Chains A and B, each alone.
Chain A
Amino acid sequence: MFKKTLNTEDTLKNSGLTDEEQQLFSNARPQAYEPYPIKAVEDFANWARANSLWILAFGTGCGAIELRPLMTARFDANRFGVAGRPTPRQSSVFVIGGYASVKTLKRIIRSYEQMQGPKFVIALGICPVNGGMYFDSYNTVNQFDQYLPVDLYITGCMPRPEVLVAGIMELQKKIKAGECNGANLYVENFDWYKSNQKKVIKNWDMPDYNW
């Protein structure tokens, strides 16, 4: 079971890490996962996943401010099984809280890659869609889905928590329907995503895939 290395193709070759450091990181490529062979199980699993959305507590941009009210008495996202998690390992939902600067993008990629699938990305606000008001900024990425697969967009600037709640419910629906395959998408188009990412992130200095 421990030898179940998915892929030995080297992800560290072009990472710019020194040889010494390369030993310290896993060099495996990620692999896509199949749905459970039994449809009922898969549906049940998707239901469970949909009703237990653990959001990574990582406010990447100004939209993160709108995440906080979700947990308050007024919106109480707990009702839908939404909860915050401090560690990406345990989280299943990554909410991109608005614009992603190049610097943050690097962190976002790392954190995303550290999450375990199935994992879902919600892009919050207009900025991840087209850059929003920062469309011509030198250090804000305009089309976020060039870098990570997005499962759900919630547009607006800023989108109010109500919209967020609606978006979460929408996400739940999509998950239950088995339509949220962002994680697999990322794996399947790994090279494309990586090249996009590396285009903007100049000081890469990390393995290609942060296990």
Chain B
Amino acid sequence: MVATTDTIDIFLQPLGIYILALGVGFLIPLVYRVNRNSAILVFFTALLIMIVIAGLNLLAIINGASVMDIETAGIKPPFSINLRFGLFEGACVLAVNTVALLGAWHYLPRLKQHAAALLLYLILVMGINGMVMTRDLFNLFIFIEITSIATYALIGMERTAKGLAAGFKYIMATSIASAFYLLGTIFIYYQTGTLNIDDIIANQQLIIGPIGFIATLFILTGLLIELKPYPANGWGLDVYETAPGGIASLISVGVSAGVFFALYKVLPIMDLYLTSIAFIGGFTFLISNFIGLKQENTKRLLGYSSIGQMGLLTLVIALLVQLDASAHIPLIIGGLFINHLFAKAGLFWLAAIVDRKNIKDWSSIAKHPSLLILLCILLTALVGLPPFPGFWAKWELVMLLASEQLFGWITLILIGSLLEAVYLFRWFSYARNVESSESVEKPAEVSVSFLQQIPIFITGLLLFAIAYVMSRFMNVDNQLIYFPLMAGFAIWLIDRLNVRVKSLIMLLAVSIGGYFLTKDLEGINKLFSYLLIGGGILVSFATLYRHDDRKGFYPLLSVLLLSLATLLRAQTSLEFFFAWELMALSSYLLVMLGRNKQNCDPGIRLGNDQKNDQKYNQINAIKPALIYLLFSLASAYFILVGFAVSYSATGNYFLFSLGDSGTSTTLAFSLLAIGFIIKIGGFGLHIWLPEVYAEADDDFTAILSSVVSKAGIFGLIIIAAHLGVRADIGLNPAYVLGWIGILTATFGALMAVFQEDIKRLVAYSSMGQLGYIVTGVALMSHLGWVSAMYMTVNHFLFKGILFLSVAGVILRTNERFMYKMGGLIKNMPVTFTFTMIAIIAMSGVPPLSGYGGKWMFFNALMDKGWYWIAALAFFSSAVAFLYMFRLLQTVFLGQRKLEHRKLREAPVILLIPQGILIAIIFVISAYPKILIDVISTAIDPWISNTLVWKGTAMQAHYGYWDAPLIMAIIAGAWIAPLILLLLFAKTMKVQKVEQFNIVYAAERPRRPEETHFAYNFYAHYDRAIGFVVRPRATAFWNAVIEWTHSFAASLRIFYNGNGQTYALFIIMYFVGLFLVNGGLAL
């Protein structure tokens, strides 16, 4: 480096960071003695300047400056120590320093009490910077030690009993680790005669023989131990648990970042161990996420997450180096790293602010929207959901791994991520859980000043900003994918307005936005845009029926609906996936806004005990929402891998090139199909569906069922179109898909039969009906697809009506159990009529629209030769009658309860959308050709039209169907006897009677409850074939959950809290690495 006389310039060199930190650090005690506040000022100025230095230099590098090598002592390396400030270093330093500044802000109340704390903090940050920048092996050791000692001291600062114990263990562990590192360093020096890392790399061939082997092993172990690999990481967890949030965050993100960077630096001499490192990283990631499941202590939970994330980074860096894919490092490592850095730091601070030890006590922030939003943003980022950096990084990573055919790693990473999502969002669930009034001990309300939230808020903003930058780097040109988010944000800004006003604004915004997003679509996408956007708005209109404030509902709803629009617009799999995840996330949050009356344990155990109906009433929407999110994530991961498989074959992201996947087609199709099936609630994967539909807001359930579920269908059709049809190979998965669909239909129907809860009934019914559609898509024939799309439209129509009318009923009766209703036809004739028409349309009984779908479906099945499926379809549509009748009978017919006598008709706002849907049903029923023509044209590009029309009659290979004529005949057949009856009624004295005027002799009816036959309506059916619908899937998933938890419990036996055990593990780790890498063979 050329010396200049410009002092300012010197300070702005990266070296300035050290100079500043040390200089200020040394002076702080003095300044502090003079004036405490000026010391704080100096402290912050130093941190700020450190950021500025890092930022300016990074900017210079991005703008094309060459990598800065900073020499010291005016002598060229390797003879002196040198530092390097390149792109990675710069980014890392900048990020760490930013976090450090924010962390200092967060932790200031404690820090400012001691000059030593201030200077330790400052020097700790400098130490991390040093670890990142130095290029000397021994100097690295020094910085590690600086960091460690500063950390020790800061851990000890609070002087709590637990903190001290943890700190001591931490010292023991890290001192052993650094001893290893030191030994390794000296032996490396022994062999290479140099300490400069670049020089060592250049002289790699000198590191040979047992000494070389052991020396590298020592260094590796030393660094790895600092990264806290499983199981040698109990000490780290203890520290995370006990250290104050400001410190824990710095350890978690800062120190780990430094060590990680150090590891990255020495990786070139670790070629031999790359596989081991990858395994250690992967193993740590998976296991720590497993164990996280059992954790209830907030900060320890974060600790597990932290360790997991570092494991993931270790795994990824090892893999990337192994694959020689260093070009991907910025995006993948950078993305994951930054994501972890900011999100984790924010969470630690949040945990510190809220100061609730057990995650179960976090319900005390349930009434703090700002804290909840922050928590949600950070968790979302951490899990890697869009639009955060983790999302992009994960995408890149999976794509890369897939193109290298490393599916084992992908599986591991995704399972780990899923587990992480489980415990993180479980935490969020607890936080969302509003306390019930009966709760014995009510956690005190958290009072958090706005100032304290600012650092966390800033991390959130930074995450958004970085995500945006990353997406630009990833060549995501289509900025429209952000539109839903922006719209949601805009609506959120007006969330304080009157509910009517804001909902209307939301509807307007979504209409306009949706129109512009979807107006230039064509084909299937256009068709779905009518359904998803038009239909979505129509059904959303019904949400106006509620008068309460509904904070957060409308912003999220607008995000949901618009993300559906962007889903339809997606040209590439990345856009598709982005929109998909956004949709999953927003619908999760919307579900969570649902029923929230009772307090319950939102653990992830599923409750589906028929006989304990009272228990369900206790369930609120939080637990189902969590399950929903998990299944959504699982679905998303399947889709991700599916896209990745396809990408590995085609090399690009375009959806239309999915079909060129060649030999991977079957695999890609299967994976994608599983993903969509989960979302649709396919057989065996359906357990989320009833609970979610039941517990979400009633009007939102309508949107969920009639609109959002169509996204899954859309996805299925898209992949069927691109993969199934275009690839044009005998797709066995399609046949399997057909079976899955029909089993879904059958079991959905059977399970609906036995429900007591009206929403669960309709939910299962929805699942069953979607099953037909899945099978229809799986048929891969023109008629099959027409039937699938036709049924999709129909499903939208009748499920929209059903859920909205159910919403009306629940609104009026405040009940969900059908046996507690009855006779409501007298109060709600319009709702009844709409429901009845919807049910006839659903059942497939002519003349309403359901018949057309069933007819085409059956014909298509026969064409294809899927006779068994056809028979099951027959059966399930017969079973459907059972629950449909039950719905009408037990709710609207039969005996009306005394307390329901005064009920009014459902609100007009609920009835209007229903009325419109009914009108559409009638139009389609009478003249289905208009719909079928549109569908047929949309499908034409994929499968050529095989429909034959003869006038108004549709001809298939087997049968024919003349909808208008059928409509006319049935109308005639219905009206004629009606007239007859009316004529005869004229001759009679007809007395309109009340509900108890029924046939009875011995005793008169006493109470409507006793006279209404509704509970366990199909007891005999249950006796006959109920055994097939015992909740096996639920039992299975419960067993999975149970098993996972016990497994997690057994995994954490290593963490017995004894520092010596931890030390032993560290030594075992080293020995293990030695043995695994063939140490004995030496």
Contact = CB atoms under 8 A, between A and B. Distances in A.
Q: Do chains A and B touch in the complex (CB under 8 A)?
A: yes
A89 B46 CA distance: 96
A204 B985 CA distance: 33
A44 B738 CA distance: 62
Q: Looking at chain B, what size class is its interface with the partner chain?
A: 20 to 34
A24 B990 contact: no
B992 A4 contact: yes
A136 interface: no
A110 interface: yes
Interface stretch (A25-33, A61-69, A71-79): A25-33
Given A28-B991, A205-B1004, A206-B1004, A1 B985 contact: yes
A22 to B, nearest CB: 9
A88 B1008 contact: no
Contact of B992 (A5, A31, A88, A210): A5
A107 B994 contact: no
B864 interface: no
Contacts of B995: 24
A6 B982 contact: no
A85 B1045 CA distance: 63
Contacts of A88: 999, 1001
B901 to A, nearest CB: 6
Interface residues of A, number: 29
B993 A211 contact: yes
A6 B988 CA distance: 11
Given A26-B991, A26-B992, 5 more contacts: A4-B992, A20-B898, A21-B996, A28-B993, A88-B999
Given A20-B898, A23-B898, A36 B987 contact: yes
Interface string B245-282: 00000000000000000000000000000000000000
Interface of A: 1-6, 20-21, 23-26, 28, 30-31, 33, 36, 58, 87-89, 107, 110-111, 114, 205-206, 210-211
Contacts of B996: 21, 24-25
B989 A210 contact: no
A4 B990 CA distance: 6
A211 B997 contact: yes
B1008 A89 contact: no
27 contacts: A1-B985, A2-B992, A4-B990, A4-B991, A4-B992, A6-B989, A21-B996, A23-B898, A24-B994, A24-B995, A24-B996, A24-B1005, A25-B996, A26-B994, A28-B991, A28-B993, A31-B989, A33-B989, A36-B987, A58-B1001, A87-B999, A89-B999, A110-B1000, A110-B1004, A111-B1001, A114-B999, A211-B993
A87 B985 CA distance: 21
Contacts of B993: 26, 28, 211
B930 interface: no
B997 A25 contact: yes
Contacts of B901: 23
A51 B1006 CA distance: 38
B994 A110 contact: no
Contacts of B982: 1
A2 B901 CA distance: 19
A30 B1000 CA distance: 18
Contacts of B994: 23-26, 211
Nearest to B1004: A206
Contacts of B997: 25-26, 210-211
A13 to B, nearest CB: 15
B451 interface: no
B440 interface: no
> Main SS of chain A's interface residues?
loop
Contacts of B1000: 110, 114
A25 B1008 CA distance: 12
Nearest to B1002: A107
A107 B991 contact: no
Nearest to A205: B1004
A88 B990 CA distance: 17
B991 A1 contact: no
A107 B999 CA distance: 11
B1002 to A, nearest CB: 6
A20 B994 CA distance: 13
B999 A6 contact: no
B997 to A, nearest CB: 4
Nearest to A87: B999
Nearest to A37: B987
A87 B999 CA distance: 7
Contacts of B987: 36
Max chain A Cβ within 10 angstroms of own Cβ: one of B987, B988, B996, B1006: B996
A4 B986 CA distance: 10
Interface string B867-902: 000000000000000000000000000000010010
Nearest to B998: A114
A129 to B, nearest CB: 24
Contacts of A36: 987
Nearest to B1005: A24
Contacts of B999: 87-89, 114
Interface string B970-994: 0000000000001001111111111
A51 B1001 CA distance: 27
B384 to A, nearest CB: 59
A31 B990 CA distance: 10
Interface in B998-1050: 999-1002, 1004-1006, 1008
The 10 A-B pairs with the shortest beta carbon distances in the complex, nearest first, are A211-B997, A24-B996, A26-B993, A211-B993, A26-B994, A107-B1001, A4-B990, A26-B997, A25-B996, A111-B1001
Contact of A2 (B990, B1001, B1004): B990
A87 B1000 CA distance: 9
Contacts of A24: 898, 994-996, 1005, 1008
Given A1-B982, A1-B985, A26-B997, A211 B991 contact: yes
Max chain A Cβ within 10 angstroms of own Cβ: one of B985, B990, B991, B992: B991
Contact of B989 (A2, A4, A25): A4
A107 B901 CA distance: 29
Contacts of A33: 988-989
Contacts of A28: 991, 993
Contacts of A23: 898, 901, 994
A206 B1002 CA distance: 12
B902 to A, nearest CB: 10
A202 B999 CA distance: 22
B895 to A, nearest CB: 8
Interface in B435-474: none
Contacts of A1: 982, 985-986, 990
Interface string B946-990: 000000000000000000000000000000000000100111111
Interface string B662-704: 0000000000000000000000000000000000000000000
